[in-house]
Chain A
Amino acid sequence: MKAWQRYSGLALPLLLLLLWQGLASAGIVQPMVLPSPVAVAERWWAALLPPQAYEAAQGSYLTWLFSGELPHDAAASLWRVLLGFLAGAIPALPLGLAMGASAAAYALFNPLIQILRPIPPIAFIPLAILWFGLGNPPAVFLIALGAFFPILMNTIAGVRSVDAIYLRAARNLGAGRSTIFARVMLPAAMPYILAGMRIGIGTAFIVVIVAEMIAVNNGLGYRILEAREFMWSDKVIAGMITIGLIGLGIDVGMNRLNTHLLRWHRGGEK
């Protein structure tokens, strides 16, 4: 790739930013409807910074550095995503392996799965609040639901795509059922499983924002809704951009993990 191509993707966002600034500066639209990028950046920066000056007596420098509102909200959201993702992935993985490997397990679970799967996690919000009250539990439940199905479906597809020749080779080499599961089926299905996890974490991120708008009083979703109440559109956009940046960060991280775990895969490594 040529050098200019590598950075060509930055041109459009920059152009959009300029257009946006121009529109705001020209005074055509009210700042409340569309605040200028500079105002958004200022708001974002203010939320990022610690509210008070550093005092050694208050605690470590690092705690102080991350004592701003934005780092707190981002951490709260990420923590929920992590908990929900794990709560979804941990049952999805073994169930997917079982349903992929055994026709009996598939026949048993598939009808229920197919009925539940099309229901968006958002539709569970009223029940989630009834069942789990307010706070983190309903949010984690909803996120888990969002992460569960993509991982499950991909794990099933992954196990089914395992070439029979590997199973034959493993049996020939003396492998029993559990060895075949752990050392043949699971790694062979890994490209599918990781793709499912990537979709799952994306869904988890969508669900966390929605859940935070309803059930909790911190996190990025909550902060955006709060800003809306005060008509702080610059803060709303600042929150949205933070979500975008964190989402990008997670995706880059997942991509790295993918490349590392699938370095054996064709085209996985240069």
Chain B
Amino acid sequence: MTTSAYVSVQRVSKRFGEDANAVLALQDINLEVAHGEFVCLLGPSGCGKSTLLNMIAGFIAPTTGSVRVDGKEVTAPGPDRGMVFQEYALFPWMTVAQNIAFGLTIKGLSRADIAARVDGLLQLLKLAEFRERFPKDLSGGMRQRVAIARVLALDSPILLMDEPFGALDALTRRTLQDELLRLWSELRRTVVFVTHSIEEAIYLSDRVVVMTYRPGTFKRDQSIALTRPRDPAANDFNALKRELAGLVTAEQQRHVESERRGIAVD
């Protein structure tokens, strides 16, 4: 339908389970993300933001509606939609360099090409001295750098990120957020980023989509016009933060109440 959008989610619903136990995770979602845009999906747990991301990645099929990326219907996961997971998901039996090279060897590049690409990415992510290390010997922040490098190696025009910095301490988190913004502005990839941190969403994105608690729908599609680099202590930042916090807290409240009633099965 729409030709300009890079990611186009049309009238998507997702139902998990059967009949009486069925949970409507997403209801009638429409989302368009332009080429090079940085969009955050924000909401409490159970709002379906990760489900939506997993649909764009091709891990989950929508019950109704369609997901298109670059004009093509998404039917399966693929290297054109690289994903960064909260749990890093690095292969622990491979070194840093081997992890980054994984997607490239599948593409069938020559040894020399792979080595050159890996070297470049190690430089880009400031990982050069860790190339022969195994993931177990790296800190959480370093692991996530490797995971980002592994996905960037694919040259996929879009990065899908599922709470990638959720498990990191505050300082490491800020460093990686800045790294991600640097990479994004250098490489001009489209980013769809899932988070439940309001500050993170405002700090990073061009647009924040606030989602409602089950069934997940869009409550607010908020453009963030603040100039980068953004200052989380600035007044306009905080005004936005307060406003979005009001929306998210209301949904969080619904989440808590529904759990108290014992309806939630999340």
Contact = CB atoms under 8 A, between A and B. Distances in A.
Interface of A: 165-166, 168-176, 179, 183-184, 187-188, 190, 263-266
Contacts of A173: 79, 82, 102-103, 106, 150-151, 154
B136 interface: yes
29 contacts: A168-B77, A168-B83, A168-B85, A168-B89, A169-B85, A169-B89, A169-B91, A171-B77, A172-B77, A172-B81, A172-B82, A173-B103, A173-B106, A174-B79, A174-B106, A174-B107, A174-B154, A175-B106, A179-B106, A183-B102, A184-B91, A187-B93, A188-B93, A263-B134, A264-B94, A264-B135, A264-B136, A266-B92, A266-B136
B163 interface: no
B91 A187 contact: yes
A165 B89 contact: yes
Given A173-B102, A264-B93, A264-B136, A168 B59 contact: yes
Given A173-B103, A265-B136, A166 B78 contact: no
Q: Which of B85, B89, B150 has the most CB of A within 10 A?
A: B89
Contacts of A263: 134
B82 A264 contact: no
A110 B151 CA distance: 39
Contacts, number: 67
Contacts of A166: 89, 91
B259 to A, nearest CB: 25
B149 interface: no
A166 B59 CA distance: 13
Given A171-B76, A173-B102, A179-B106, 16 more contacts: A165-B87, A168-B83, A169-B83, A169-B89, A171-B77, A172-B57, A173-B79, A173-B82, A173-B106, A173-B150, A173-B154, A183-B91, A183-B102, A187-B94, A264-B94, A266-B136
Range, interface on chain B:
20 to 34
A265 B137 CA distance: 10
A190 B103 CA distance: 22
A172 B156 CA distance: 11
A169 B103 CA distance: 10
Contacts of B91: 166, 169-170, 183-184, 187-188
Contacts of A168: 59, 77, 83, 85, 89
A165 B85 contact: yes
A174 B83 CA distance: 11
Interface string B120-140: 000000000000001110000
A28 to B, nearest CB: 57
Contacts of B85: 165, 168-169
Q: Which 10 A-B pairs have the closest CB atoms?
A: A174-B79, A169-B89, A173-B103, A187-B93, A264-B134, A171-B77, A264-B93, A165-B89, A174-B106, A172-B83
